[in-house]
Structure 1
Amino acid sequence: MHCLARRLQPFAFSFLAASALAAGLENQNILFLEPSSLYKLPVDFNGNSSQSFLQTDGLFKGTARQARFQMVKPFIAYDDEFANLFAADATLELIYNSSDGNPVSDEMGIWVWDHNQVWMSSAGVGNVSYTYILDLNKHTVKPLDVSSNGISIVNPNGGGYFNGKVYIAGTGNMSIPPAIYEVDPVTHEAQVVVDSYFGLRFNGPNDLTWAKRQDKSWLFFTDDPLSYYFNNGKYPTIPDAVWRWDPAEKTVLPVIDRTDILVPNGIRVNKDSTKLYITDTPSQLIPGSGFQEVSSMELYYGSDSSSIYVFDLSEDGFPHNKRLLGIAQRGIPDGLHLDDAGRIWTGEQDGIVVRSPTGKVLGMINALAIQGEQVVDSNKMPLQNFALAGYKIIIFAFTKIYQVQLSHTIVKNMT
Structure 2
Amino acid sequence: MPARCLEKLPPFSILLFSLLAGLFFSSAVAADDSVFVGKPVMLQDHGAGEGPVWHPQLGLLTSGEGNINRRDLAGKTSVFRADAGSNGLLFDRQGRLLICDNKRRRVERIEADGSLNVLADSYEGSRFNQPNDLTIDSKNRIYFTDPQYGDRSGMEMLDDQGRKVEGVYRIDPDGSVTRIITHEVDRPNGLIVTPDDRFLYVADNNNELGGARKLWRFNLNADGTPDLETQTLIHDWGTTRGPDGMKLDQQGQLYVAAGLNKSRPPAQTADGPTAGIYVFSPEGKQIDFLAIPRDETTNCAFGGDDGKTLFVTAGGTLWSVRTAIAGYQLFSGQ
Question: Which TM-score tier does this pair reach, normalised by the shorter chain?
Answer: 0.7 to 0.9
Question: Is structure 2 residue 43 aligned with structure 1 residue 95?
Answer: yes
Matching residue of 1:42: none
Q: 1:283 to 1:400 in 2, by over 3 A?
A: closer
Q: Which of 1 and 2 has higher RCO (CA within 8 Å, sep 6+)?
A: 2
1:368-383 alignment runs, 5 A limit: 370-371=293-294, 381-383=295-297
Match of 1:121 among 63, 73, 85: 63
Check conservation: 1:106, 1:383, Cα contact below 8 A.
Answer: no
Find the aligned partners of 2:123 and 2:226 in 1 and give their Cα distance.
Answer: 20
Find the aligned partners of 2:17 and 2:191 in 1 and give their Cα distance.
Answer: 35
Find the aligned partners of 2:170 and 2:219 in 1 and give their Cα distance.
Answer: 15
- 1:299-358 deviations in whole A, cap 9, x for unaligned? xxxxx2101111111222221122111112520201222222121211112211111122
Check conservation: 2:205, 2:241, Cα contact below 8 A.
Answer: no
Check conservation: 2:133, 2:245, Cα contact below 8 A.
Answer: no
Check conservation: 2:257, 2:300, Cα contact below 8 A.
Answer: yes
Check conservation: 1:159, 1:209, Cα contact below 8 A.
Answer: no
Question: Is structure 2 residue 118 aligned with structure 1 residue 181?
Answer: no
Match of 1:86 among 14, 28, 36: 36
Question: Rg bigger for which structure?
Answer: 1
Q: 1:206 to 1:243 in 2, by over 3 A?
A: same
- 1:125-180 deviations in whole A, cap 9, x for unaligned? xxxx2221222x2112211236xxxxx532x11132112111111111xxxx3110
Matching residue of 1:344: 254
Find the aligned partners of 2:18 and 2:31 in 1 and give their Cα distance.
Answer: 24
Question: Is structure 2 residue 47 aligned with structure 1 residue 104?
Answer: yes
Considering fraction of residues, name the structure with more strand: 2
Q: 1:237 to 1:86 in 2, by over 3 A?
A: closer
Matching residue of 1:353: 278
**2:78 partner amino acid:** K
Question: Is structure 2 residue 301 aligned with structure 1 residue 387?
Answer: yes
Matching residue of 1:404: 321
1:3-402 alignment runs, 5 A limit: 69-71=18-20, 78-80=28-30, 83-87=33-37, 90-97=38-45, 103-112=46-55, 114-115=56-57, 117-122=59-64, 129-135=66-72, 137-145=73-81, 153-154=84-85, 156-163=86-93, 164-172=95-103, 177-184=104-111, 188-212=114-138, 216-226=139-149, 229=151, 233-238=153-158, 239-248=165-174, 250-258=175-183, 260-286=184-210, 304-320=211-227, 321-329=230-238, 330-349=240-259, 350=274, 351-367=276-292, 370-371=293-294, 381-389=295-303, 390-402=307-319
**2:20 partner amino acid:** M
Q: 1:193 to 1:82 in 2, by over 3 A?
A: farther
Q: 1:85 to 1:241 in 2, by over 3 A?
A: same
Find the aligned partners of 2:328 and 2:285 in 1 and give their Cα distance.
Answer: 20
RMSD: 2.9
Find the aligned partners of 1:68 and 1:352 in 2 and give their Cα distance.
Answer: 16
Query: Displacement of 1:80 after TM fit?
Result: 4.5
Q: 1:134 to 1:279 in 2, by over 3 A?
A: same
**1:219 partner amino acid:** I
Structure-1-length-normalised TM-score: 0.63
Query: Displacement of 1:362 after TM fit?
Result: 1.3
> How many residues in Structure 1 have an aligned counterpart in Structure 2?
292
Find the aligned partners of 2:14 and 2:172 in 1 and give their Cα distance.
Answer: 56
Query: Displacement of 1:208 after TM fit?
Result: 0.9
Check conservation: 2:219, 2:231, Cα contact below 8 A.
Answer: yes
Find the aligned partners of 1:251 and 1:82 in 2 and give their Cα distance.
Answer: 48
Find the aligned partners of 1:204 and 1:82 in 2 and give their Cα distance.
Answer: 41
Find the aligned partners of 2:32 and 2:105 in 1 and give their Cα distance.
Answer: 38
Find the aligned partners of 2:92 and 2:241 in 1 and give their Cα distance.
Answer: 30
Find the aligned partners of 1:306 and 1:365 in 2 and give their Cα distance.
Answer: 19
- Gapped runs of 5+ residues in structure 1? 1-28, 30-62, 98-102, 147-151, 287-303, 372-380
Check conservation: 1:106, 1:396, Cα contact below 8 A.
Answer: yes
Q: Which runs of 4+ in 1 moved over 4 A?
A: 63-69, 412-415
Which moved further from structure 2: 355-364 or 403-412? 403-412
**1:314 partner amino acid:** N
SS of 1:169's partner is strand
- Gapped runs of 5+ residues in structure 2? 1-5, 7-11, 159-164, 260-273
Find the aligned partners of 1:168 and 1:65 in 2 and give their Cα distance.
Answer: 37
- 1:352-403 deviations in whole A, cap 9, x for unaligned? 1111122211121112xx34xxxxxxxxx15322212210011223453221
**2:147 partner amino acid:** D
